[in-house]
Each structure stands twice: as structure tokens, then as C-alpha cells.
Structure 1
Amino acid sequence: MENTNKKQLNNTAGRAKVFAIANQKGGVGKTTTALTLGEALTRLSKRVLVIDLDPHANASVHLSFYPENLTVTAHDLFFEDADFKTVWLKIVQKRETVGFDFVPASIRLSELEVDFKDRKNKGMVLSKALEEMKGHYDYILIDCPPHVGVLLVNAIVASDKVLIPIQTDFLALYGIRLLFDTIKILNKVLPRPVRFMALPTMYDGRAGACRRILNLIRRKLGEKVFSTVIHMDTKFREACASGRIIFDVDPNTRGALEYMQLAREIIRNENA
């Protein structure tokens, strides 16, 4: 694997756009978005790296990277004396079933809140680490943990844009308020404001409540909401249960087509 990675890291593809996929409410489609969008972008000939930064490691387990079997993970990027180039060569993984490269998570990521207690510039570690990789990918997607802490702050600081999946459900709006509070705090100390886009997910057009929430999201956030809406699709659950991405289950199902639409929208927006 290391020899393969060395070959990959010697190829350059410009400066990657980094997206932190975040919401402080769980169950809104963060991991589904990270993995499915990552695969959609690769199918549009983009080089993609997906990083699992959630100690729960849902994205990792989905792809059969079980934390208990791994010796190197995203956690290695946060060692104080980390040689980033060497670490990346060890932690970037590949699965034949997906087109993107992947960095698995570790439960030890949860220890960083204590480990970083007295560390200087603790919110900048991931940003510095990613500088080593931006020349090798077109897009880097970070699956973030669903709570405020050093990991989420690192991901937001390192990102060019925060992608916020919002379940079209009333309770999901509360998580958005918490995330916006975090962004406001960061905006006071960062040299540039945090850019973000909201993605409506788990939408059911038959439900009046879903329609009302979607309209509310669009009224409140305006152009900060993707035109793409991700509907409910049972194929997502089927893909997860079989350790696959939805494109391998049915590339023509609604969910797959909508994430392809999202990928095209992102590429179009970044090129505008």
C-alpha cells in the first residue's frame, strides 16, 4: 500500500478544494454525503480524498476499515511531532469498490480534547497537515464529528467551505443554530469569514412538514442553499448494509442521481 501511495502522491492535480461536512446534530446524512459525494466527484473525473474525522468512525466502518484492526489513522496527523509527508503515505487507503482515496478514523480522536488542552495553535493542525496534500487532489472532503470541539474547529479552519447537510425536519434546525454559533465565534479570530452552503437532505415531498422546513431553509439562507435536494431513498440503507456506495447498488436510483447533480453543482460553483 505504501508504494502505491508514493506513486499517487507524486502525481499533482492542482490545489484541492476542501469541504468540511458538518452539522452538530447526528443522523442528518453527513457520512452519506461525504462518501456519496466523494464517489460522484470521482465519476466526474475528479481526484478525491475523503477523511473520516469522527471518532465514531461510521464512514470507516461503512468501507470496512474497522478501527480495531488499524495501526495508522487520521489520529496520527495530530501528533505534536508528526512528519506530515510520512504520515500521509501511511494513512491514505484505497478500496477497489470506490474511486476516491480514504483516511480512516480512530476512536482515539476523542482523546484530543484532553491531549490538546495546553497545545498552542491547536485549531490549525489539520490545516497545516492538508497543505501537504492539496496538490494531489481536486477535492478533499472531511466527515466531521457531530459536536463542538477541537476536531470540528480543525476541520472548519482547514476548509474552503463548510457543507452543512440539513435534514428537512424541525429538530434538525436546532443543530444548525449551534453550528452557526460556532462559525460566528471562529469568524472573530479567523483572517477570512467561514464560507458555507446548506444541503437539504432526507426530503419527502409528500410530507407537508418537510415542504415547510425546506421553504423555511431557503427563505432564511437564500443563495447559501444548494439547488440540489437529497430525497429519502431506501437504496442508501441498502448500500450501507452491504458496505457499498449507492452507485454500486443502483446508479439510476433517485439518491444516486441527486448526488451526481450535487457534484456537478459544486464543480460549476467552484468554476464560476
Structure 2
Amino acid sequence: MENINIKQSDGAASLAKVYAIANQKGGVGKTTTALTLGEALTREGKKVLVIDLDPHANASVHMSYFPETVTTSAHDLFFDDADFKSLWGKIVKKREWVGFDFVPASIRLSELEVDLKDRKNKGMVLSNSLDEVKEYYDYILIDCPPHVGVLLVNAIVAADIVLIPIQTDFLALYGIRLLFDTIKILNKVLPSPVKFRALPTMYDGRAGACRKILNLIRRKLGDKVFSTVIHMDTKFREACASGRIIFDVDPKTRGAQEYMQLAREIVRNENA
């Protein structure tokens, strides 16, 4: 698929809202959320960009962009600061079977910890580059790596909201604590506190432990938790295995409908 041209939407007046989808525990639904929510928002008539910022490149592989064949990627954003406008036109990709635009990852993202070691304001690189494309989108979703480092910091600093998928089991709560520790550190140096919303995922209402964790999350985080809950749905695995989004497998399945509900909740909150 050829690179796309960045074109401004007719009558565009506002800048994209940036969501960093983050949790310092893997396997909680970050990539599924980034891709499925991205598609759900496009079905609500929104212009969406999804960025894979994880060196593991799970979202990219899901979208059939394999690291060994990708020549331009999110990695380039951290080096070519001479002409971001031109660079975005090269790294933004389009698949005909999804409505959103996509920026693939590179395994070289893992090298940035060393490469940017002595760079001034290294936590602001992504934020500065996103300024060049915010006018073309309604939402920008960033699939973040699970570990603390320069990539996660860049994503959080660039984000308007950190969206935290929380798997409804006890081990997932540990990853939340680590992420909150990172946010607290950033809040000491950022001009305004980091905003976040939690999304319960992989929920099974038949399991007492899941119900207990969901109640605990709601009690501790209050209105910072989305009302939408994402249940377990085998169609997610089917979609991943076929390299598609769940809407292509079965748009009426529970998981697809819940991400549509999440998209509507986000849009409604933005308009409130």
C-alpha cells in the first residue's frame, strides 16, 4: 500500500484529541483497544490516526506491516526534525479495510533510550511532531509500550488523556500502580496534571473475582472509569488471526458493540 497524502478536512476548525493507550502490564488489551477504538471512532464519522509506538510492533503486524519490511515508521519521528510536515506524509499509511490512518512501529524504537540519551527536551519530541498533523484529525490514538522509558514518557506528554485498559484481575492492578507512579513523576514537571481514564477490559461477569476487581476499580477511581466495560469475546482472537478488526469478523458481536459504545462515550464526553 502506498503512503497517503496528508489532506486537511474541509472546514477543520479544531485540533485532534490525543489518547495515549498505556498500561505497564502487557496483555491487558492495549493494542486491541487502539485498533478497535480507532475503527469505532471512524464509524462515528471521525477522522482518526493510530500510531504504533511499541517496539514489539503488535499493532503493526496486526495491520500487516511487518517490521522487517517497513521502511518508514514512527521511529523516524524522533530524528527527522527538519521537516515534520514532509515526514508525516511518508510515514502515515492507509489500509483499504479500515477507516483510520496508521503509523507502523519499528523494532528500532527500542534503541531510542540510548540514541536520545543526551538530547535536550527528549520527552517533547513526539508532542512537537504531532503539532504538524493535529489539524487533520479528530482523534490520534497511540499504542504505547508497556515499560517505562523515553517512548512512554513521550506518549504521555503528548496526550490530552491517558486511556488505561485494565484487565479485571488482581495482577493487572500492579501495572496500574506502576503507571500511576510514572504519572506522578511527570506531574512534578508538566505545566498541568496528566488526565487519565480507565477502561475495564477482558471482563467475565460470571467470575466473582472479575466482579470484585471491577467494583474495586470503580470505587477507587470513581468518575475516572469509563462506564463502558469490554467483556471477553473470542471474536477478538479471530480478528487478530485473520489480520482484521473485529467489525470485519462480526460487527454485531459483543466486543464490537462495546467498542462502539466506548467511541460514543468518548465523543459524548468531548462534546459535553
TM-score class, shorter-chain normalisation, is: over 0.9
1:163 is aligned to 2:154:
no
Three-state SS of the structure 2 residue aligned to 1:199 is strand
- Cα distance between partner residues in 2 of 1:103 and 1:12: 24
Match of 2:95 in 1: 95
The separation in 1 between residues aligned to 2:72 and 2:93, in whole angstroms, is 10
Pairing 1:1-272 to 2, within 5 Å after superposition: 1-2=2-3, 4-6=4-6, 8-9=7-8, 13=12, 14-79=14-79, 81-272=81-272
Q: Which amino acid aligns with 1:31?
A: T
Change (3 A) 1:11 1:117: farther
TM-score, with length taken from structure 1: 0.97
**Per the alignment, in what secondary structure is the counterpart of residue 5 of structure 2?**
helix
The separation in 1 between residues aligned to 2:256 and 2:11, in whole angstroms, is: 28
Give the C-alpha shift of residue 81 in structure 1.
Answer: 3.8
Give the Cα–Cα distance (whole angstroms) in 2 for the partners of residues 112 and 69 of structure 1. Answer: 20
How does the TM-score come out when normalised to structure 2? 0.97
Residues matched between the structures, number: 270
Q: CA deviation at 1:12?
A: 6.3
Q: Name the CA distance, whole Å, in 2 between partners of 1:224 and 1:162.
A: 11
Flag structure 1 segments of 5+ consecutive residues without an equivalent.
none
Q: CA deviation at 1:53?
A: 0.2
1:87 CA displacement: 0.8
SS in 2 for 1:97: coil
- 1:12–1:159 distance in 2 versus 1, CA, 3 Å: farther
User: Contact conserved, 1:233 with 1:255, CA < 8 A, in 2?
Assistant: yes
Deviation (angstroms), 1:11: 5.4
* Deviation at residue 9 of structure 1 after TM alignment: 4.6
Contact 2:50 2:103 in 1 (8 A): yes
Mapped contact 1:12–1:136 kept (Cα < 8 A): no
Rounded Cα–Cα distance in structure 2 between residues aligned with 1:168 and 1:83: 43
Distance 1:227 1:34, change over 3 A: same
Give yes or no for contact 1:19–1:160 (8 Å, CA) kept in 2. yes
For 1:67-112, what per-residue CA distance to the aligned partner results, in whole angstroms no more than 9, with x for missing partners? Answer: 1111100000000644211110000000011000000000000000
Say whether the 8 Å CA contact 2:80–2:87 is kept in structure 1.
no
SS of equivalent to 1:18:
strand
8 Å contact kept, 2:203–2:229? yes
CA 1:132 to 1:81, structure 2 compared with 1: closer, same or farther past 3 Å? closer
SS in 1 for 2:146: coil
Cα–Cα, structure 1 residues 55 and 9, in superposed 2: closer, same or farther, change >3 Å? farther
CA distance in 2, matches of 1:217, 1:82: 44
Partners of 1:124 and 1:158 within 8 A in 2? yes
Structure 2: gaps of 5 or more residues: none
Kindly provide the CA deviation profile for residues 118-176 of structure 1, in whole angstroms up to 9, marking residues without a partner as x: 11000000000000010000000000000000000000000000000000000000000
Tell me by how many angstroms 1:10 deviates.
6.9
SS at match of 1:263: helix
Work out whether residues 20 and 161 of structure 2, in 8 Å CA contact, stay in contact via their aligned partners in 1.
Answer: yes
8 A contact 1:12–1:137 mirrored in 2: no
Amino acid at match of 2:162: V
